[in-house]
Amino acid sequence: MASLICGSLAFDTIMGFEGQFASQILPDQLHILNVSFLVPSLRRDFGGCAGNIAYAMRQLGGTPLPMATIGQDGVGYLQRLRSLGIDTEFVREIEGSYTAQAMIMTDRDNNQITAFHPGAMMQAHVTQVPRRPDIRLGIISPDGREAMLEHAEQFHAAGIPFVFDPGQGLPMFDGTELAHFVRLATWVAVNDYEGRMLCDRIGIDLAELSRRVRGLVVTRGAQGCDLWEDGHRTHVPGITASAVVDPTGCGDAWRGALLHGLEQGWPLARCAALGNRVGAIKVASRGPQNYTLDAGVRDAA
């Protein structure tokens, strides 16, 4: 059984600011904002939601199929995916474009400011969700606007249950479009802020949102996550990380564990518990794809 992961492949340039963003920004001067941050540390990592989710799934022994687009600079990313044993059949190169690029700056309180160049990701809709018996599960994660809309329709038409994970792409859609995503989806996964925005735009609360899907997950970082099923909430406590080094990609690591559990037919609470555990391991490593899951985690999965 394989899971089709619709989303971005991107290069992440991650910079560390040793101060606090809040102390550098004057709230009453936002209309003339002009700030500069000294970032002594800088690294470039493989990232993008599809890549990060696929990495987590593969670490857990799953069969991820990332469906994404890369640019003329993406050969190294293809090689990396293949070296990890991740099938790249649905990764397409777009000539004349760069691979999506995220520039992420993190302060000492783990607040983040991100600039994102979509590049080849804007052509992600050219690849269609196939009807194949081995593809039994999918996810719509942040991607090009057209791709997210079309792939959701294609999953539904193919009878493939999928997770709707709007993430940073949520602001691209109005309430009518978001309600349509929810009608098509089997599960919805959001963080606390995204959950509030999603409900606000549709005009419902979390309880009602959960009645429209099989399961709703609201992640809350170190506090764990809330699971909503048919209007009822269950809290799954977080796991204390050995160190808090870099939050980049934690949500994607969590979603990789969610997909792995759903592949196995687990109840949502067990999927969430594994997600909390994988997220805690990820936050102790720099970059979204540089952590390693030990045998104990893999065996538990």
Catalytic positions, written as ranges = 252
Helix ranges, the chain (H) = 21-24, 49-59, 75-83, 145-158, 175-184, 192-202, 206-211, 250-264, 268-283, 295-300
- Residue 52's Cα: distance from chain center in Å? 7
Strand bridging mode 162-164 / 135-140: parallel
Return the bridge partners of 187, or none: 163, 215
Cα–Cα distance, 103 to 111 (Å, whole number): 14
- Contacting residues for 163 by C-beta, under 8 A, at least 6 apart: 138, 139, 140, 185, 186, 187, 188, 189, 255, 258, 259, 262
- Contacting residues for 258 by C-beta, under 8 A, at least 6 apart: 163, 189, 217, 271, 272, 274, 275
How many Å from the N-terminal Cα to the C-terminal Cα in the chain?
15
Most distant CA atoms of the chain, gap in Å: 57
